[in-house]
Amino acid sequence: MTRRTHLAIALAATALTVPTLLRAQQAPAIDMASAEIRATATVKQMTADEKVVLTHGMMPLPFFPGTVIPAEAILGAGYIHGIPRLGVPALTETDASLGVSWVGGIRKDGATALPSGLSQAASWNTDLLYRGGAMIGSEARAKGFNVLLAGGVNLMRDPRNGRTFEYLAEDPLLSGMLVGAAIRGVQSNHIISTIKHFALNGQETGRKYVDVKIDEGAARESDLLAFQIGIEQGHPGSVMCSYNRVHGEQGCASDWLLNKVLKQSWGWKGFVMSDWGAVPGVQAALNGLDQQSGAQMDPALFFGDVLKAKAASDPAYAARLDDMNKRVLTAIYAAGIDRTPATPGTAIDFAKNAGVAEETAKQGIVLLKNNGALPLAKSARSIAVIGGYADTGVLAGSGSSLVHSVDGPAATRSSGGDGAFAALMSQSYHRSAPLKAIKAAAPAATVTFRDGRYIADAVEKAKQAEVAIVFANEWRTEGLDQPDLSLPDGQDALIAAVAAANPNTIVVLQTGGPVMMPWLDKVAAVVEAWYPGARGGEAIASVLFGDTNPGGRLPVTFPASLEQLPRPRLDGSDWVEPNFAGDPAPGKDQLHADYDIEGSDVGYRWFARKGAKPLFPFGFGLSYTSFSHNGLKVAGNTAQFTLSNTGKVKGDDVGQLYLVSRAGQPKRRLVGFKRVTLVPGGSQKVSLTIDPRILADWKDGGWSLPAGEYAFALGSDAENLGPAVTVKWAARAWKD
Ligand code: GLC
């Protein structure tokens, strides 16, 4: 590389971690310690009746016969009464990680939809996640909600998981750092954020019936480490436990997860709320659950009079009940929701907030293939736009995380069925049409649109155009997993036919996770836009025409086939009729997920262990410019390197540092990352601190590192790695 004047920014002479640097621009973490002291004093004043007020909540929606919705409740996910005598506010809860959920428009209001969790994670930018969290938290607060059920962070253990779109990544460090930043952003509004679903909630089909088998060490090094880092970085007031079983115990009654890991090993001081309809009985209180959410969805209200009676007769329950109240109050006081109450009807700057959604979408778009067809020229004369409802809007994932503006979806496409969940089983589109944005970007072009239902018709239009852009969508929903990773509705055939008619065919994917691409070698370019949120159409056009140089990197592996996965067949996929409610097929109320197959080698780590070549690796992403990665030095637990832009246009690169071997054993673990913006010829020096837990094994009740040589390498993704540098580390062992 020719040496040029490098804009070398030494981030810090001392080994500051990136998050520490970023923290300077973010609100201070909440102070749980002093809040806990205040909480303890309040509990001492509580009567027996008051002690079972904060321990349960209801779902304030008119779907449940017999539910009386309190006048002061806000229609949404949850309502927990306050204790006015003691100045304790009610808790008003809304979903979720992508913004204030729409709930079928029942409140007649709207909110700003962030892009999907995967899209956010593809930015690899903790500061951006903070900004997104701060924005959606401000909208929740402005609507009167003081709890945002955000922080979905379950690792992608199976790419068919229906909620993959909502979560972040397959790696504990990337997931933990990003979710922690998002939670800090949410809580900068003096409201409580959750982190969820704790833990090992790796599939949606039969989510209440699947029993996860995993060695404690493997869990601690993967899924639990993502939560641990997220909690350290974000200080969420609440953890939401999960539906699934682990070693036979339901997540919300798991003594191991809630007491031993979360509260004892990690010393966490907030409160555990259940997922909705996830509480098996009052004994869950002894196993670490602090609040029964949406109690109408459980067999009974366990954490009201039943719990009160238990506490009156059993000292273990009495002590637990005091602790439950202390934890809920600690979170309330730490967030400051009693002193700065959220008042509904506060004005919202939707234009400004849409800008946050658009910037997030732009930074999350991943360029997967480009033979030079992109960026498109704004002087293009003819463009054929095909499929994907591109004339209408951009796709959203369904379930409790669905967000829409006040005008509601631009279009919905029912997936059929009947019963309470049928309404949730519909695809919907945000009001942001890519076709309109494409026309605006190329005003001189003749832009045609065909919806793609008739292949011959689409092919005809593709033949007549300089370039064909095919939008291909894969919808996902909470409650149901994908049967496989193919594009539905015959879109593969449509893409292949259009590509055969026009070699200048560009595919824009809007998917909820990895998909197969049988047509990949036939098309000129592929852009993964995920579910791009409230201004997704504008973000997509900005990338296609080069106003935005794509800087996204895959947060999950795209496999080349299902056979490469630890579990090629997902248990439950043979059910008679998989359904949103996740209810079992007749006579089959037990599913099994054996995560010991891969253990903590989730995603790219599994592919490295098996020597398998994915379709696209974790961390992969192309740019309209080129980069070099040089000067890697590792001393102790500090790594430094330089990223340079060796091309002709400004662009974002993501420095990725991987452990590639440990004491002579091959390893593949992301140990640090940093997204930077570089002008042509520019460079930036990056300094990272390596968290030793990422390098360690968890066994015999703690972390341990073997003595020996540790080799690290910079990667443009988890597969394409530069030369390794080694450093000797002494053996170490420690407890959390
Ligand atoms: C749902 C989801 C959870 C959500 C809750 C309230 O079942 O699993 O993420 O926050 O119920 O809607």
Provide residues with CB under 6 Å of ligand 1. 77, 95-96, 149, 196, 275-276, 400
What are 469's strand-pairing partners? 385, 506
Q: Which atom of ligand 1 is nearest to the CA of 400?
A: 12
Residue 628 pLDDT grade (very low, low, confident, very high; cuts 50, 70, 90): very high
- What pLDDT does residue 10 have? 35
Mutual angle of helices 32-45 and 315-335, in 10-degree steps: 130
How much is the average pLDDT of 224-252?
97
Q: Are 549 and 623 in contact (CB under 8 A)?
A: yes
Ramachandran angles phi, psi of 225, nearest 5°? -65, -35
Q: Is the pLDDT of residue 582 over 80?
A: no
CA of 677 to the centre of ligand 1 (A): 37
Q: How far, in Å, from the CA of 515 to the mean position of ligand 1?
A: 26
Q: Which atom of ligand 1 is nearest to the CA of 149?
A: 10
Give the distance (Å) from ligand 1 centre to CA of residue 303. 19
Assign 16 a pLDDT band (cuts: 50, 70, 90).
very low
Ligand 1 centroid distance, CA of 95 (Å)? 7
Across 23-32, average pLDDT: 61
Q: In angstroms, what is the C-alpha Rg of the chain?
A: 25
CA dist 268 and 402 (Å) reads: 30
Average the pLDDT over each of 8-17, 48-57, 335-344, 631-640 and give the range with the smallest value: 8-17
Predicted pLDDT at 124: 98
What's the CA-to-centroid distance between 507 and ligand 1, angstroms?
A: 33
Assign 3-class secondary structure to 434-503: HHHHHHHHCCCCEEEEECCCCHHHHHHHHHHCCEEEEEEEECCECCECCCCCCCCCCHHHHHHHHHHHCC
Residue 1 has pLDDT above 60, yes or no: no
Mean pLDDT of 644-670: 98
Residue 23 has pLDDT above 60, yes or no: no
What is the band of 31 on the pLDDT scale with cuts at 50, 70, 90?
A: confident
Q: For the chain, what is the mean pLDDT?
A: 94
The pLDDT of residue 585: 67
Mean pLDDT across the stretch 55-69? 94
* pLDDT tier, 318 (very low <50, low <70, confident <90, very high otherwise): very high
Query: 354-544: which CATH topology?
Result: Rossmann fold (3.40.50)
Mean pLDDT, residues 285-291 taken together: 98
Rounded distance from Cα 41 to ligand 1 centre (Å): 32
C-alpha of residue 552 to centroid of ligand 1, in Å: 28
Task: Find out whether 332 and 291 touch, Cβ atoms under 8 Å.
Answer: no
Tell me: pLDDT of 578 over 90.
no
Average pLDDT over residues 599-618: 98
Kindly tell me the sign of the dihedral angle through the C-alpha atoms of 714, 719, 724, 729.
Answer: positive
So what's the pLDDT on residue 728? 94
Which protein residue's CA is at the shortest distance from atom 3 of ligand 1?
Answer: 275
Q: What is the pLDDT of residue 63?
A: 86
Give me the pLDDT at residue 507, please.
99
CA–CA distance, 656 with 174 (Å, rounded to integer): 10
Q: State how beta strands 446-450 and 467-474 pair.
A: unpaired
DSSP code at position 253? G
CA 303 to CA 58: how far, in whole Å?
11
Domain with CATH 3.40.50.1700 in the chain: 354-544
What is the model's pLDDT at position 27?
Answer: 65
**Nearest 10 degrees: Cα torsion 578, 579, 580, 585:** -80
User: Among 80, 94, 95, 580, which residue has the most ligand 1 atoms within 8 Å of its CB, making it the best to mutate?
Assistant: 95
Give residue 610's pLDDT: 98
| Host H or E run for residue 126 | helix 126-142
Task: Give residue 19's pLDDT.
Answer: 39
* Nearest protein CA to atom 6 of ligand 1, as residue: 77
Which residue CA neighbors atom 7 of ligand 1 most closely? 276
Secondary structure (DSSP) of 25-88? TSPPPP-HHHHHHHHHHHHHH--TTGGGTTTB-B--STTSTTPPPPTT--SSSEEE--BGGGTB
CATH 2.60.40.10 region(s) of the chain?
4-11+625-734
Q: What is the distance of C-alpha 65 from the center of its chain?
A: 33
Q: Whose CA is nearest to atom 11 of ligand 1?
A: 276
The residue whose CA is least distant from atom 8 of ligand 1 is 275
Residue 465 predicted with pLDDT over 80: yes
Which range is most confident: 527-531, 591-595, 728-732?
Answer: 527-531
Going from the Cα of 360 to the center of ligand 1, the distance in angstroms, rounded, reads 24
Least confident of 2-16, 234-248, 275-289, 503-517: 2-16
In the reported structure, the alpha carbon of residue 79 is separated from the centroid of ligand 1 by a whole-number distance in angstroms of 14
Pick the atom of ligand 1 nearest to 207's CA. Answer: 8
Topology (CATH) of 33-335: TIM Barrel (3.20.20)
Q: How much of the chain, in percent, has pLDDT values that exceed 90? A: 89
Question: How many CB atoms within 10 Å of residue 343?
Answer: 10
Examine the pLDDT at 528 and tell me if it is beyond 70: yes
Q: What is the 3-state secondary structure (H, E, C) of 82-104?
A: CEHHHCECCEEEECCCCCCCCHH
Q: Would you say residue 324 has pLDDT above 50?
A: yes
Pocket test for ligand 1, best of 91, 186, 274, 275 (most atoms within 8 A of CB): 275
Ligand 1 centroid distance, CA of 77 (Å): 8
Residues forming a β-bridge with 422? none
Atom of ligand 1 nearest to the CA of 152: 9
pLDDT at 21: 36
Pocket of ligand 1, candidates 92, 210, 400, 579: which has the most ligand atoms within 8 Å of its Cβ, to mutate?
400
- Decide if 565 contacts 582 (C-beta within 8 A): no
The CATH superfamily assigned to 4-11+625-734 is: Immunoglobulins (2.60.40.10)
Residue 422 DSSP label: G
CA of 206 to the centre of ligand 1 (A): 15
pLDDT of the residue at 416: 77
Sort residue 313 into left (φ over 0), alpha (ψ -120 to 50) or beta: alpha
Q: Residue 580: pLDDT band by 50, 70, 90 thresholds?
A: low
| Mean pLDDT calculated for residue range 302-310 | 98
3-state secondary structure at position 627: strand
pLDDT recorded at residue 446: 98
Sequence ranges of the chain with CATH classification 3.20.20.300: 33-335
Distance (Å) from CA 456 to ligand 1 centroid:
43
Whether 289 shows a pLDDT value over 80: the answer reads: yes
**Token pair for 41:** 């004093």
Using the atom order of ligand 1, give the atom closest to the CA of residue 96. 10
Task: Name the pLDDT band for 588 (thresholds 50, 70, 90).
Answer: low
